Each structure stands twice: as structure tokens, then as C-alpha cells.
Amino acid sequence: MATVLATDRRHSDATRAREPDATGFIERDGVRVFWERYGDGSPTLLLMPTWSLFHSRHWKLQIPYFARLFRVVTFDGRGNGHSDRPTESSAYADTEYVADALAVLDATGTDRAVVAGLSMGAGYTLRLAAEHPERVLGAVFIGSSVPILDRPDGGPEVQVDAAFYGPQEPEGDWRNYNADYWRRDFPGFAAWFVGEKIFSEPHSTKPIEDGIGWTLETDAETLIAVEPGPYLWPPPEWGPRDPFEGRAMPFARRVRCPALVIHGAEDRLSSLAVGERLAAELGAPLITVAGGGHAPQGRWPVLVNRAIRDFVRSIGSQP
């Protein structure tokens, strides 16, 4: 993959296919989070934030379509876009993203929504669906990055690999996943991660440019703060855990709403096995994108849009 240069700043806010009908901020514990609402159909589709690497524009190919068919609410996850960038890691816990989602639903007058999430956004969606079933009509999990696979050694889990904090390794596929490197060459990290790990399919130059542009709207220090934010740790009141199962499993077991799983067979960040396991546990249909990478909503939007449309309609027609 050729190196991708920084995006053309002059056009960083290129013409949208559809402008929001309403925008606003919610504020929780001093952190302001920016939301947008589109369309006035039904039901509402809540498009969740993902890792703060991206903001809500990662749904740019979904928003105009679903705004025409349904009603769309989305928001910039804390740490990117128009939302604040708190400096302490605790502000980036999955529970905070979930609480932001609930506050945005309230602010937009939305009782319940079909919820969709990409990558870590699938994890936030999972937690939202498991803990707040009264707000979630259905859930869509795309390129899910959730710790759901079995852990044969049953050893202790850590949120962040030690290699993240040490000096950058001289070699290795993941050597660029390193705080020191991010501080030295954040654009280089963005080009590598977005260009080689997320949009790994051929002929993806535009999604890659977009993704790098969104990444460069935040910065290394913010993403370093995000990194140790707690993610999908089952609450103690759920009782003792099986150390050999992935810690996302207790969440998946608690989801009662209809669900849909979409996963690229060539996903370089989260293997297809994750999507398969999640779908099996949820009893949800799985759409495998053969030849697809980590972010099919950006690279294969027609497929994803039609799949979500059919899913939402199937919920709408349920008694």
C-alpha cells in the first residue's frame, strides 16, 4: 500500500449529501459531546461512536440513506470531532460512551432506537444493549472488536499490552501500535493503521484519506489517554467469571433484542472468528463479507446499507 499523504485541508469539510436537521451538545461531568439528528421517520437508528480514532463521519455513507428511510441520531465520541478531549483515561471508559449515548437519546427525544456500532463501537453497542434493553430495539455489530473468543490459558487479562508503553520495537507487524511512536509520528501512525489495518482492500484510497483526516482531527496524547480506558469488563455484581471465556461473553448473554452481525473475512484487526462467535452467542444472523476488511460500512456501503435496512424493517414489522 502506497503511503497516503495528509488530506487536503481546504476540502476537509467537503459537501455533504445531507445536512443534519438538528445538532447540539450534551454535557456530562464537564465533558461536552456533539450530536446530530437527521430525518423524521421511524424508527430511530442510533449510529454509535467507535474508537476515538474516528468521529461520526465514519457513518457518512449511511447517514443520508437512513435519514431518508428512518430517523438517524449520531454523535462524535469523546476524544474526537466536535466533542471534548478529556485528558484522564477514566473519562474514556466504555460506560462513559454508553452514558453519552443515553444522554444523546434523551436530548433528541428518542425513547428507543436500533443501534449500530463499528469495531469498538460494536463493544459500546453490546454494553448498551445488555445493560439498557429498554432503550434498544435491535443491535447491529460491524467489524466487532470485542474480547469474546475463548482464553485457553485462563491467565490474567490486561487492558493494554506492555509493548504499547515501552520503546518502539524495531520490527513486528504491530510495532507502530506504540505510544512513543504516536508521539513522534502521529500522521505516520494514522497512515499505517487506517491504510493497512482498517481499509485493507484494494482501491480504497478515498476511505483511507477520509480516515486519516478524521484521525488527524484528534492527537497522540488524546489517543494515549483513551488506550487504558476500561472496555467490556463485566460488573462485579454479575458474579464470578469463567476465566476461560472472553470477557465480552457475559454481555452477549444478556442481550435480548434482535441482532445482526456483519464481519469482513479479511479483517486484519478483529478476525472473522470474533464475528462468528458473537453471532452464535446472540443467535443473530451473520453476514460475512468475503474479501472484506475491518470497516465494510465504508468500503462496501451498498451491502451494509441494504442489510441494515432489511434488519430495521424486520424489527418494525415484529408484533
The residues that touch other proteins, with contacts defined as CB under 8 A, are 2, 5, 8, 11, 14-18, 60-61, 64-65, 68, 202-203, 205-206, 300-303, 305-306
- From the CB of 207, what's the least distance to other proteins, in Å? 8
Of 7 and 89, the one with the shorter C-beta distance to other proteins is 7
Q: Which residue, 154 or 316, has its beta carbon nearer to other proteins?
A: 316
Long-range contacts of 191-199 (CB under 8 A, 24+ apart): 191/3, 191/4, 193/53, 194/4, 194/53, 195/1, 195/3, 195/4, 196/1, 196/268, 197/268, 197/269, 197/294, 198/268, 198/269, 198/293, 198/294, 198/295, 199/293, 199/294, 199/295, 199/298, 199/299
- Are 83 and 77 a contacting pair, CB within 8 Å? yes
Q: Are strands 113-118 and 44-47 parallel, antiparallel or unpaired?
A: parallel
- Cα separation, 15 vs 264, in Å, equals 29
CB of 209 to other proteins, least distance (A): 8
Nearest-CA neighbor of 124 among 166, 60, 79?
79
Name the minimum Å distance from CB 140 to other proteins: 17
Cell of 254: 444478556
Work out how close the CB of 310 gets to other proteins at its nearest, in angstroms, rounded to a whole number.
12
Q: In what order do the strands lie in the sheet with 113-118?
A: 22-28, 31-38, 71-75, 44-47, 113-118, 136-142, 259-264, 286-289
Residue 230 or 291 with smaller CB distance to other proteins = 291
Residue 17 Cβ vs other proteins, minimum distance, rounded to whole Å: 4
For other proteins, which is the closer residue by CB, 5 or 280?
5
Sign of CA dihedral 62, 68, 72, 77: positive
Judged by beta carbon, residue 100 or residue 201, the one nearer other proteins is: 201
List the Cα angle 260/100/56 in 5-degree steps: 65
CB of residue 92 to other proteins, shortest distance in Å: 28
131 CB burial (10 A radius; 0-12, 13-18, 19+): middle
Least distance from other proteins to the Cβ atom of residue 98, Å: 28
**Least distance between other proteins and beta carbon 301 (Å):** 5
Q: Which is nearer to other proteins, 10 or 235 (CB)?
A: 10
| Nearer CB in complex with other proteins: 114/223 | 114
Nearest to 140 by CA among 266, 319, 306, 271: 306
- Of 18 and 112, which has the nearer Cβ to other proteins? 18
Closest of 106, 140, 107, 99 to residue 121, by C-alpha: 140
